[in-house]
A and B are shown apart, each in its own frame.
Chain A
Amino acid sequence: MTSPAASAPVKTRSRPADRVFASSALAAGILILTALGAVAVFLIAQSLPAFLVDPAELPTAPTSFWEYVAPLAFGTVWAAALALLMALPVSIGIALFISHYSPRRIAQTLGYIVDLLAAVPSVVFGLWGITVLAPFVQPFYAWLVANLGWIPLFAPPVSGTGRTILTVAIVLAVMILPIITAVCREVFLQTPVLHEEAALALGATRWEMIQTAVIPFGMPGIISASMLGLGRALGETMVVAMVLSPALVINFVLTGSANPPTIAGNIALNFPEAHGVGVNALIATGLILFVITLLVNSAARVLINRRKAFSGAN
């Protein structure tokens, strides 16, 4: 028996405490969005003078603001791309090793060891890069320049200290390994087991199974992982500031002593002594870096989210 009263919707009493709690939670959420907007607004506000001022007053007295930015932007992208080029194959290898090769029991421990790399502060990587890695790789650079100097990438003269863009890229590659590995590993583990078993049942070796089932499934994940890694490498500051010996040039030489600087490294090196419009110019380059990383990261996240939607593994 249903009485008319029971079928009518029951109205819950609205409590003030409930409303306070709900709206403070909402406020926190909105605050985060506002913060991101504020980053853009304040950076733009502080960099406007650099765009408007006579370019001759900028730090290196270029003919236009963009001439000042060009080597920095080039160096940023070039160093990050080199780092990604080195880190990506190794990361995919490690991710496969953890997800499909190592015994189940030690897989988690191996993942934890790789995550340890992410826990090392960047300034320590910088110190290690300058005191250990640079002297270590310098003889290899000398050999490369002496024997392969005809390749434009290794054009002479060689750097005497090893503080080149290639050294920076190696350290950056080590630093972005963990994040690329972590994302790839997650995606590889999501591969439908039925696909893998089907491939193995048809007589595929483990590599053929990975080739036909795991890699095609994980492709969007690999792409977004590399974009996340790229975003990290673009914004990494201390390693570049400490290891690179910069010069305001645009070239592709990996082993020389004149290397294009990066935006982040340039800011870290020059900000403490900057004054007047120089500060605004540095903030303007920071704004450009912010926009670049925002685009790269958004693209990566869109790709990851799309993958989530049809993987059925969430």
Chain B
Amino acid sequence: MTVTTGIVNSLTSARLPKWVPWALLAGSWAVLAVVYGILAAGSGGDYNIVAVIFLGTVLFDVLLVTTSYLVEGSRKARDRLVTSLVATAFVIAMLPLVSLVFTVVVDGWKRFDIAFFTQSMRNIVGAGTEQFPGGALHAIVGTLEITGMATLISVPVGLLAAIYLVEYGRGHLSRAITFFVDVMTGIPSIVAGLFAFALFALVFNDPGIRFGFGGAIALTLLMVPTVVRSSEEMLKLVPNELREASFALGVPKWLTIVKVVIPTSIAGITTGVTLAIARVIGETAPLLIIAGFTSSMNYDLFSGRMMALPLFVYTQYANPGTDVQPYLDRAWAAALTLILIVMLLNLVARLVARIFSPKLGR
């Protein structure tokens, strides 16, 4: 190409101004919004916001790459293409999240009432009566008991194993534990349920055994690896100077661990445990296998079938009566409750990490 205008700044020539991509993005979304607005007005159908965002982003990708190719050349255009593809990937991942949260909140809100949290499903058929529309109290109690029991078992075991790995472990055994703990994080939850069932069916010689404690054991199997991994990371963060200072004062090793190492890392450990609880509280498959399901209250972990919140969602959806809608409403309300619990646990974990973590001077 020939330069006709005299002096050209090589740093800014053949470059799109910074505002162009943003303007193109806003433009493509606006165009698609108008197109779908006309379509929705024409056919009387719903306004499809998902398609607007997605197709708008795709249109933006095409426009930007074409403009860039014409102005900036092929190398820069390919760079723009990848940049826009990478941003599009993020948008694609957000669509299901937004759709899911939206649906859960809108559909779950219908039955998110007092009766839902104060009644069980005993003797409830269809929508129930005005006074007794049925609720998930039995499932909430079951979830709290089963998850609480699982936490009670897995926190000591997981924490002690982490202490072994960080403070004592050397050689093959510690490497084997680290490796298999990592592998255990990938055990399918349903296999954990089958294990608990196989174990207790043999121990009690009952081929149809269902009880809450078995569910707790299954959840423990899923929870321990997470607790070990997070506690291990946190214990490793404790500076060695603290341990050495304690040893120099003549404090025994176990007391050093209990009084110095663990208090220093307690915030991180709490965060890890909370996240582990959040992970297992939504597990459905193992409880389906070993805890069974019921529509009545059961406070006893050690006998009788026990309901849990995720399982409540599943059974309400899977075994509806002739009138499906009240069952679906209850399922969505339980899903909303479950998501709120998980989000709350996540929030608590992050708050604990932020507020109580020791300042290590870095």
Contacts and interface: CB of A to CB of B under 8 A. Distances in A.
Contacts of B157: 28, 31-32
Interface stretch (B16-24, B56-64, B121-129, B337-345): B337-345
Interface string A110-124: 100110110111111
Contacts of A133: 96
Interface string A216-240: 0000000000001001101111100
B186 A124 contact: no
A39 B198 CA distance: 9
A297 interface: yes
A43 B199 CA distance: 8
Interface stretch (B31-39, B73-81, B144-152, B238-246): B73-81
Contacts of A236: 188
Contacts of B6: none
Interface residues of A, number: 91
A279 to B, nearest CB: 7
A264 B190 contact: yes
Given A18-B254, A89-B89, A127 B285 contact: no
Contacts of A122: 282-285
A304 B262 CA distance: 29
Contacts of A89: 89
Contacts of A43: 191, 194-195, 198
B285 A90 contact: no
B335 A131 contact: no
Interface centre among B90, B190, B311, B335 (most CB of A within 10 A): B190
A121 B310 contact: yes
A90 B93 CA distance: 8
Interface stretch (A50-58, A150-158, A285-293): A285-293
A119 B160 contact: no
B328 interface: yes
Interface in A88-117: 89-94, 96-97, 101, 110, 113-114, 116-117
Contact of B92 (A90, A132, A231): A90
A66 interface: no
Contact of B188 (A33, A123, A234): A234
Interface in B320-357: 328, 331-332, 335, 338-339, 342-343, 346
A17 B258 CA distance: 12
Interface of B: 75-76, 78-79, 81-83, 85-90, 92-94, 96-97, 99-100, 103-104, 107, 156-161, 163-165, 167-169, 173-174, 176-177, 179-192, 194-195, 197-199, 201-202, 207-208, 221, 224-225, 228, 252-255, 257-258, 278, 281-285, 288-289, 292-293, 310-311, 313-314, 317-318, 328, 331-332, 335, 338-339, 342-343, 346
Interface of A: 15, 17-18, 20-22, 24-33, 35-36, 38-39, 42-43, 45-46, 89-94, 96-97, 101, 110, 113-114, 116-117, 119-128, 130-133, 174, 177, 181, 205-208, 210, 228, 231-232, 234-238, 241-242, 264, 267-268, 271-272, 275-276, 279, 282-283, 286, 289-290, 293-294, 296-298, 300-301, 305
17 contacts: A15-B252, A28-B161, A32-B184, A36-B184, A42-B202, A46-B202, A90-B93, A93-B88, A97-B90, A113-B97, A120-B282, A121-B281, A237-B285, A238-B284, A267-B285, A268-B289, A289-B188
